[in-house]
Amino acid sequence: MNTSFNHHCNWKFDELRENIMGIDTEVPLLDGSRVPYVFLDNGASTPSFRHVFEVMQEFMPFYSGVHRGTGFKSILATQVFDEAHRIAGDFVGADPERDTVIFVKNTTEAVNKMAKRCDWRDSDVVITTMMEHHSDDLPWRLHANVIHIGVDDRGYLDMTALRDAFEANSGHVRFLALTGASNITGIVNPIHKLAEMAHAYGAKIFVDAAQLAPHRRISMLPHDNPGHVDFIAYSAHKMYAPYGIGVLVGSRDYFASGDPDMVGGGVVDIVETDQVAWSAPPAREEAGSPNVPGAVALATAIHMLQAVGMEQIAAHEHELVRYAIARMKEVPGLRIYGPVEDDELNEKVGVISFDLEDVPHAKVAAILSVEAGIGARNGCFCAHPYVKRLLQFDEEKAQEITQEILDGDRSNLPGMVRASFGCYNTVADVDRLIEALQRIAAGDIKGDYELDPRSGTWWPIDFDYDFREYFPHFAFRPTPTMTEFNEAS
């Protein structure tokens, strides 16, 4: 573990919760009271570790543009920035000689870069899956023939179909691109086994680790291991460092030839009016002035997670998921999508998607927010095909709803509610969720909720937050969007 720029290296698991910024923040409820916020939307973005913020603050007096600045601050910042690359690669077991670590904005940018940087041929195929987040699906579609491997009713990848697709397209598959862990069901894919399969067919594997990296130790394994992961991407905002940076790691050779996907300052060794010599990666792939504070934050968060131990984090989250699922089973009419049996939960990260019979998902999420102070999420979570498959939509129904949405009516927007855990969530957080769900299931709802067909949101009639009380620096519009829609129409 490379920790040379960070001297506090004894983080204990129990210190993580108190280190979460905003852990005690109280939020207003419909009845005028305030309660401590329960944050169960970590799959979208986690809060920041306070230590991460503090280290960034310590760094800021030295903040300076990196690379080629000759002043003290620039030299310091450059060293920090370069060290952050090493730490980000080390976090996923990259090979410092053969891999490069490229800083991007987030996982989405990483996948786009991967797809744009390939020397595609017309017949090239990318095999991906039905369980992908759109970020690991749409970028490939712009460049290659994409095949989506199906899933079973509980959301597991169809391994037979995957092998068949490799067979049927033998010689043409450039990448198997798939998620390390699903942002809907939390299912962890066997990435090394899948890497072996991809390599056996002459393809490379790209792992979208946006949901895996915050929860599990990752090793790309050595390049000569058949289970080696060729490329991997993750986002700092999902691992307690939400300051605008993401990471793409993979074979240096892949980025060492061809034009960078984005050009400008920072990517060149020399420019003449009629010729350009690109720099070596990662500089070649990091056009423009980089996010140095973000890199400091990411490296500090990694340092904290590594010091505590990813195994300990995984074990805690596993217990939380087991407990949450057991308690959810007590709620009448609650359906969980994805694995629920004890022996399956080892291979599931802390993401649980569910719905309640007879209560629309958007209404459940709204009630959780305004009547219980719980931050969850609802909808299709940027994985429309997977959610529709889990909801067992047939093609006709899917088409019907698509048409309604295209016509501007989102009343029947498909979706679920999602509770996603971070390393700092507790059994008490789960209990708050379950109590609220029990009340909703029993019809014990205080507000009078109205559906806005244009946005598909439910919201209590005549209820609005006054955000200025909490954050006076910005002007706020009335919430939710329904108010504006009604006024505009």
Ligand X SMILES: Cc1ncc(COP(=O)(O)O)c(C=O)c1O
The verdict on 189 binding ligand X (CB under 6 A) reads no
Position of tokens 């394994």? 221
Task: Return the residue of 112, 211, 251, 291 that touches ligand X, per CB under 6 A.
Answer: 211
Max distance between CA atoms of the chain, in angstroms, equals: 73
The verdict on 42 binding ligand X (CB under 6 A) reads no
Contact, 232 vs 207, CB < 8 A? yes
- What tokens were used for 307? 């010091």
Task: Return the residue of 19, 128, 179, 457 that touches ligand X, per CB under 6 A.
Answer: 179
In terms of CB distance, is 99 or 136 closer to ligand X?
136
**Other CB atoms within 10 A of residue 373 CB:** 21
Burial of 122 from C-beta contacts in 10 A (0-12 / 13-18 / 19+): exposed
The verdict on 137 binding ligand X (CB under 6 A) reads no
In terms of CB distance, is 44 or 445 closer to ligand X?
44
Shortest CB 420 distance to ligand X, Å: 9
**Binding to ligand X, residues 244-303 (CB under 6 A):** 246
The verdict on 457 binding ligand X (CB under 6 A) reads no
Residue range at the interface with ligand X (CB under 6 A); choices 55-63, 105-113, 266-274, 404-412:
105-113
Task: Return the residue of 80, 151, 207, 210 that touches ligand X, per CB under 6 A.
Answer: 210
In terms of CB distance, is 183 or 425 closer to ligand X?
183
**Other CB atoms within 10 A of residue 412 CB:** 14
The verdict on 46 binding ligand X (CB under 6 A) reads no
Shortest CB 321 distance to ligand X, Å: 17
Got the DSSP string for 69-119?
--SHHHHHHHHHHHHHHHHHHHTTT--TTTEEEEEESSHHHHHHHHHHTS-
E strands in 99-190: 99-104, 125-129, 145-149, 173-179
Task: Return the residue of 83, 90, 137, 208 that touches ligand X, per CB under 6 A.
Answer: 208
Q: What is the DSSP letter of 185?
A: T
Q: What is the DSSP letter of 341?
A: S
Size of the site for ligand X (CB under 6 A): 15
Shortest CB 400 distance to ligand X, Å: 27
Task: Return the residue of 6, 46, 100, 108 that touches ligand X, per CB under 6 A.
Answer: 108
The three-point CA angle 473-34-243 to 5° equals 45
E strands in 117-195: 125-129, 145-149, 173-179
**Binding to ligand X, residues 85-104 (CB under 6 A):** none
The verdict on 107 binding ligand X (CB under 6 A) reads yes
Residue range at the interface with ligand X (CB under 6 A); choices 132-140, 326-334, 402-410, 459-467:
132-140
The verdict on 6 binding ligand X (CB under 6 A) reads no
CA atoms within 13 A on the CB side of 451: 14
The verdict on 353 binding ligand X (CB under 6 A) reads no
Instruction: Output phi, psi for 82, to 5 deg.
Output: -65, -40
Residues forming contacts to ligand X in the complex (CB under 6 A) are 44, 106-108, 133, 135-136, 179, 183, 208, 210-211, 235, 237, 246
